[in-house]
Amino acid sequence: MQKSAVAKVLSDSAVCEQCGGTGWREVSSSGDRRVVRCECFGKVQAQRLVQSSGIPARYAQCTFDSFQTESNTALAAAKIAVENWTAQYPIERTGLLLIGPSGVGKTHLAVAALQQLMSKGVHCQFCDYRELLKEIQNSYNPSVQSTELEVLQPVFESEVLLLDDLGAVKPSEWVWDTVSLILNNRYNDNRTTIITTNFLDGPARNVAGVQAAGREETLGDRIGERMRSRLFEMCRLVQIHGKDYRQRFRSIGPR
């Protein structure tokens, strides 16, 4: 029997002994014979989703099990909140907005959620905010083969999108228009979005009554007040506090 694409996708070239790589196995009950999906099918499907998700190699091993809270109650609470949200999907389709300083593990938790969702067969896409904007700008170059629509298509169409490091690019009218295009498209199509940002929530500096001098930039400053408001319609806020996650592990050193 010819092997199907299910077998070909297995990274280790192993072929399931029960189905021979077809994704279907035969069962007998009371003399009746029929075929059912083999257990390997879900694993292969999840693997294909991971391969097409765009998760960088640096984060490929990020799971809930590998997220270390080190007795930090704030980190533990954030981990539980994201785990619970993931378990409830798709009953709960409201997205997540993970806010916290650099290095506390926001991307780790967000990718862990994607990994868990993909194991359930959910199509997910990872997008680095800065890289996405660069790709869109690059698509305007006549010598580049890709178009803006081709760059944005997986961003618009993925069932769950992780937009990592929102606000990392200096704001401009074009940046605000692009953020608006992405978020409004997903909002109108009722698609789930997970967002991470290093900027604390707060209104833009041009809002009446807000003192701009002597304060750090807020999420409103970086993406615009209108889109900040839209985020809270789309997402559930999870604030993450703790020491720099990456520095903690670098300080351990070789064992």
Q: What is the pLDDT of residues 142-157, one digit of tens each?
A: 888 889 999 999 999 9
Q: Which helix (H) or strand (E) holds 68?
A: none
A 10 A CB-CB count for 194 gives: 27
Q: What is the set of domains in the chain, with CATH numbers?
A: 5-43 (no CATH), 56-252 (3.40.50.300)
Q: Which pLDDT does position 33 carry in this prediction?
A: 72
Chain mean position to CA 46: 15
Instruction: Give the total residue count for the chain.
Output: 255
Q: Which pLDDT does position 7 carry in this prediction?
A: 39
All residue ranges of the chain with pLDDT < 50 are 1-13, 207-211, 249-255
Q: Which pLDDT does position 38 carry in this prediction?
A: 67
Characterise 13 by phi-psi region: left (phi > 0), alpha (psi -120 to 50), beta (else): left
Within 8 A by CB and 6+ apart from 241, the residues are 74, 75, 100, 101, 104
Q: Distance (Å, rounded) from C-alpha 21 to C-alpha 171?
A: 50
Q: Given the structure tokens 């869109």, which residue do they identify?
A: 136
Q: What is the pLDDT of residues 184-240, one digit of tens each?
A: 999 999 999 999 999 999 888 754 444 455 568 999 999 999 999 999 999 999 999
